[in-house]
Structure 1
Amino acid sequence: MAARIERLVTSGTFSLDGGTWDVDNNVWIVGDDHEVIVIDAAHDADAIARAVGGRTLRAIVCTHAHNDHIDAAPALAERTGAPVLLHPDDLPLWKQTHPDRAPDAELTDGQGLAVAGIELTVLHTPGHAPGAVCLYAPDLNALFSGDTLFAGGPGATGRSYSHFPTIVDSIRDRLLTLPGDTVVHTGHGDTTTIGAEAPHLQEWIDRGF
């Protein structure tokens, strides 16, 4: 069976800079009936493992290291034997949540991740976090944007390790250059498309998201 995209929503909390907020996260499972990767192991390792089922989990890919995107990663890795992959620029954030367990391997810009006969390309898109990445899968007409780009604008940049001009550069230079019909699968909330978001770049800049 051809590769496909599955969405699981898990609930928990996001904590940074002394504040804690309730959040729902999108966990994306990409693959076929035999093998998959998980993008952002959020909150509930048991639920994610059930969604993976008997398929081989090739990797647990972290779009960034805010706790709500990585809190279930070590437990899922222990259960499945899959490696946890993170861009090294986000190690300071990772260590706030998992000080005694490092990621297993690094993500690098331009790296290809193969699963179920397709390839996802890692795009380093700092701004929301220093090591934030997106994953582009042209065979699925899909971009997995983490918290870099949402339906309606960029991810938040008002907390530690974030920078608004940097996220604008990342979106303009790395994401809005993709085909307009590319479906953007976000870290929270609804999907969008590159074409829907591209016309609003200047508005975001003027509003200073």
Structure 2
Amino acid sequence: MAARIEHLVTSGTFSLDGGTWDVDNNVWIVGDDAECVVIDAAHDAAAILAAVGDRALRAILLTHAHDDHIDAVAALQAATGAPAYLNDGDRMLWDAVYPEKGPDAGLDDDQVIRIAGTELHVLRTPGHSPGAVCFYAPDLGTVFSGDTLFSGGPGATGRSYSDFPTIIRSITARLLTLPAETVVRTGHGDSTTVGQEAPSLDEWIARGH
């Protein structure tokens, strides 16, 4: 059976630099009837576990380690034993949430993760955070962009560990080079496509933020 993409929205908070905000997060599940991976374990472990059902959860793949994207990891691991994968560049953000235990594995540029007969290619896209990555699934015509690229422009770069020129380089080199019809499934809000976002990038560069 071919891999498919499932989507749920979970709600909670995001905290950084002394502030806390209410947020809705996209959680993505890629797999078939037998096995799957979760991309970003946000807020509500019970809802994610219900969506996974009786399938084998092979991995929890993290686009980055802001607390709103990882705060359900521990509960998911307790229930399933699934390993958590994170790029080492975001270890300081992870440690702020889980100081007693590190991620189980790293995520390197161009690493390939296989699930349910499909491939997820790791694209290093620092900028929103130092260790941010996206997951490109060519067979599914989609890229899971985390908070690197949204419908309407780049992810935020106004807080600690983020950098606007870096995120622009990441988007230009790693995302806008994908086929224009590639669906961009984001960490928050609506999905978009590479082709829809490419024309607006020059405007963001001109604004410089």
Letter in 1 for 2:149: L
Deviation of 1:132 after TM superposition, in Å, equals 0.1
* 1:190 alignment counterpart: 190
* 1:80 alignment counterpart: 80
Letter in 2 for 1:193: T
Structure 2 Cα separation of the partners of residues 78 and 71 of structure 1: 13
1:60-89 alpha-carbon deviations (Å, 9 max, x no partner): 001000000000011101210110000001
* 1:90 alignment counterpart: 90
Compute the TM-score of the two structures, normalised by the length of structure 1: 0.99
* 2:116 alignment counterpart: 116
| RMSD, aligned CA | 0.6
- Judge conservation of contact 1:85–1:103 (CA < 8 Å) in 2: yes
SS in 2 for 1:47: helix
- Judge conservation of contact 1:10–1:26 (CA < 8 Å) in 2: yes
Letter in 2 for 1:99: P
Deviation of 1:208 after TM superposition, in Å, equals 2.0
Structure 1, unmatched stretches of 5+, are none
Structure 1 Cα separation of the partners of residues 75 and 122 of structure 2: 24
- Judge conservation of contact 1:30–1:38 (CA < 8 Å) in 2: yes
Structure 2 Cα separation of the partners of residues 83 and 119 of structure 1: 18
Letter in 1 for 2:116: A
Runs of 4+ in 1 over 2 A off after TM superposition: none
* 1:4 alignment counterpart: 4
Structure 1 Cα separation of the partners of residues 185 and 128 of structure 2: 16
Alignment of structure 1 residues 153-172 onto 2, 5 Å: 153-172=153-172
* 2:129 alignment counterpart: 129
Note if 1:59 corresponds to 2:41.
Answer: no
Deviation of 1:91 after TM superposition, in Å, equals 0.1
Alignment of structure 1 residues 6-45 onto 2, 5 Å: 6-45=6-45
Structure 2, unmatched stretches of 5+, are none
Structure 2 Cα separation of the partners of residues 208 and 95 of structure 1: 31
Letter in 2 for 1:73: V
Identity score, percent:
70
Compute the TM-score of the two structures, normalised by the length of structure 2: 0.99
**Deviation larger for 188-197 or 97-106:** 97-106
Deviation of 1:55 after TM superposition, in Å, equals 0.4
Letter in 1 for 2:182: T
- Judge conservation of contact 1:74–1:101 (CA < 8 Å) in 2: no
| Count of aligned positions | 209
